[in-house]
Amino acid sequence: MKTLFFLLEKEFKQLMRNKGVIRTLFIMPAVQLILMPMAADYSVKNIHIAVVDNDHSTYSQKLINKIKSSGYFTLTGYAPSYKEALVLVEQDKADLTLHIPAGFERTLVRENTEKIYVAINAISGTKASLGGAYLTSIMQDFNNQIRLQWLHGTPDNTPQVTVAPYYWYNPFMDYHLYMVPGILVTLITALAAMQSAFNIVAEKESGTIEQINVTPIKKHIFIIGKLLPFLVLATLVFTMGLILARVIYGIVPLGSLVTLYLSLIMYLFAMLGLGLLISTYSNTQMQAMSLAFFFINIFNMLSGVFTSIDSMPLWAQYIVETFPPSHFIKIMRMVVLKGSGLGDITYHLAAMFVIGLVFNTWAVLNYSKRS
């Protein structure tokens, strides 16, 4: 235990001496946590629409006005034909086109039914599906309106089911509420897995590890001494993140802080284990960086911060289940936004613990003082 004290003392002194890196480790997450949630906003507002109105009737005008005033769409312009509207899509000037065929109003009145053509640039998935959904619901609304008029104001005598949505936990559909906790996790991820790996590898590279190996210091004490400072550092950055989330975005965790910090420690147990594992496979900082980058990048993309895990194919969901961040991101969102308690997140806590156990055991087995 006493040797651990000296080891920790040394690690902290070295960390604190490296002012540049320490500053970056706090400033970078802070800046990113403040700015990045503003970028991660799915609420689709400016859908650019190109309109081909070949009818020029009252109905077509009314429909176009309704779309324009909905607040979701920006009219890029009118195109004389579908072909020309398509050019606007190709140039990314329009995300979708609305084509009202010639004689629309006449056909609608005469035959009681007529089509409207919508073409959506489906490469950017979210915009496409949301834009399409908005547009169809506007058209449906319009449809009901003209029907009422058609029936000369008499109350619609057809039965109608309406939907009354209630949005729990986030009634104003504020995206920041959802993104800030997730982004905080990705910032912690990079810090924990990468810096701990570098730290151990740097000692290999400089040769001081050789000196440590001839001392009677125990393997596990050395590892704890190496990882504990990063646990502290990550906890500090996490705390700073929670404070920033509160000050800048007004996000106050609904659940208990004890639950949050307990989960954080479990998460760091897993991620520092990964850092340790990476360090045992690397002889140079370059290798450690390459490996760390590999995992961190995959974690960031697949752990559900920006894309939904539920939309993935089943096999991918199983893979993602082995990524510690996917569990911690879920926990953060559940505890912060919904006030979930320990009982609700048991599964995720246990999963992180098991993953952490695997990483750490593997690393310790692989980290040999004596070959």
Partner 1 sequence: MRPVIKTDKLTKRFGAFVAANELTFEVEKGEIFGFLGANGAGKTTAMRMLCGLLMPSSGKATIAGFDVYTQTDQIKRRIGYMSQKFSLYDDLTVTENIRFYGGIYGMEIKEIKAKTLELLAELQLEKEAKTLVRDLPLGWKQKLAFSVSLVHSPDIVFLDEPTGGVDPVTRRQFWDLIYHAADKGVTVFVTTHYMDEAEYCNRVSIMVDGVIAALDSPAKLKKKYGYDNIEDVFYELARKAKRSE
Partner 2 sequence: MKQLLVFIRKEFLQVFRDRKTLLMLFGLPIAQIVLFGFALSTEIKDSKIVVVDYAKDETSTQIITKIAGSRYFDVQQSLQSTAQLEAAFKKGIIKMAVVFPANFSKDLLHTNHATIQIIADASDPNTATTITNYITNIINTYNVQLANAAGQPLQIVPEVQMLYNPELKGAPNFVPGVMALVLMLVCTMMTSVTIVKEKELGTMEILLVSPFKPIYIIFSKLVPNLIISIVNLFIILILSSVFLDLQVKGSLLLLVFATTLFIVTSLSVGLLLSIGAKTQQAAMTSSLMGMMLPTMLLTGFLFPIENMPWLLQVLANLVPSRWFFIIVKRVMLEGLGFAAVWKEILILVAMCAFLLTISLRSFKIRLQ
- Binders of partner 2 among residues 249 to 308 (CB under 8 A) are 281-282, 284-287, 289-294, 296-298, 300-302, 306-308
Provide CB contacts within 8 A for 158, sequence distance 6+. Answer: none
Helix H or strand E segment including 36? helix 19-39
- For position 307 contacting partner 1 by CB under 8 A, the verdict is no
Q: Give SS3 for 265.
A: helix
- Do residues 100 and 52 lie in contact, with contact meaning Cβ atoms separated by under 8 Å? yes
Could you give the maximum distance between any two Cα atoms of the chain, in Å?
96
Smallest gap from residue 19 Cβ to partner 1 (A): 11
Tell me the CA end-to-end span of the chain in Å, nearest whole number: 26
CA pair distance 100, 328, nearest whole angstrom: 49
Residue 6 as a binder of partner 1 (CB under 8 A): the answer is: yes
Among 14, 24, 211, 368, binds partner 2 (CB under 8 A): 24
Q: Which is nearer to partner 1, 83 or 370 (CB)?
A: 370
Site for partner 2 in 122-181 (CB under 8 A): 122-130, 132-137, 139-140, 142-143, 146-147, 150-151, 155-171, 173-175, 177-178
x/- contact string, 319-358, with partner 2 (CB under 8 A)?
xx---------x--xx--xxxxx--x--------------
197 in Cβ contact with 278 (< 8 Å): yes
Residue 55 has a CB neighbour count (10 Å cut-off) of 21
Q: Does 240 bind partner 2 (CB under 8 A)?
A: no
Among partner 1, partner 2, none, partner that 213 touches (CB below 5 to 8 angstroms by kind): partner 1
Number of residues in contact with partner 2 under rule CB under 8 A: 127
- Closer to partner 1 by Cβ: residue 198 or 267: 198
Query: Is residue 213 a contact point for partner 1 (CB under 8 A)?
Result: yes
Nearer to partner 2, 139 or 248 (CB): 139
Q: Which does 3 bind (CB under 5 to 8 A by kind): partner 1, partner 2, none?
A: partner 1
| Residue 56 vs 369, nearer CB to partner 1 | 369
Identify the three-state secondary structure at position 49: strand
CB of 270 closer than 8 Å to CB of 359: yes
Please state, in angstroms and rounded to a whole number, the distance separating the CA atoms of residues 64 and 51: 8
Interactions with partner 1, residue window 8-27 (CB under 8 A): 9-10, 13-14, 17-18
Q: Tokens 């284990």 sit at which residue?
A: 273
